[in-house]
Homo-oligomer: A and B are copies of this chain.
Amino acid sequence: MERVRRLFDDTLFSDFPFVNALCEHVRGYRGKMLRPALLLLSGRAAGGLADEHIALAVVVEMIHLATLLHDDVLDGAEVRRKRQTVNVLQGNETAVLLGDYLVSHAYHLCGRLGSRFAVCRIGATTNTVCEGELMQIHHRGNCRLTEAEYFEIITRKTAALTAVCGELGAHFAGAPQEQVAALEAYGRHAGIAFQIVDDVLDLIGSTETMGKTLGRDLDLGKPTLPLIHCLSSGDTAAAAQLAAVLGNGLTASASEVCAWLDRTGSVAYAMQRAADHVMRAVAHLEAFPPGPARDSLAGIAHFIAFRQQ
Q: Which residues of A contact B (CB under 8 A)?
A: 14-16, 18-19, 22, 70, 73-74, 91-94, 96-101, 103-105, 107-112, 114, 116, 119-120, 122-124, 126-127, 129-131, 133-135, 137-138
Contact B104 A137, beta carbon cutoff 8 Å: no
Grouping DSSP codes into helix (H, G, I), strand (E, B) and loop, the A interface class, with mixed when no group exceeds half, is helix
**Given pairs A14-B131, A111-B120, 16 additional interface contacts (CB within 8 A):** A15-B131, A16-B131, A18-B134, A19-B131, A70-B100, A74-B96, A91-B137, A96-B96, A97-B134, A101-B131, A104-B126, A107-B107, A107-B122, A108-B120, A111-B111, A112-B120
Which of chain B's residues has its CB closest to A21's CB? B138
Which of chain B's residues has its CB closest to A12's CB? B127
> Which of B97, B108, B116, B119 has a CB less than 8 Å from the CB of A124?
B108
Contact B135 A100, beta carbon cutoff 8 Å: no
Of the listed residues A103, A104, A114, the one surrounded by the most CB atoms of chain B closer than 10 A to its CB is: A104
Contact B104 A123, beta carbon cutoff 8 Å: yes
Q: In the complex, what distance in Å separates the CA atom of A126 from the CA atom of B111? A: 13
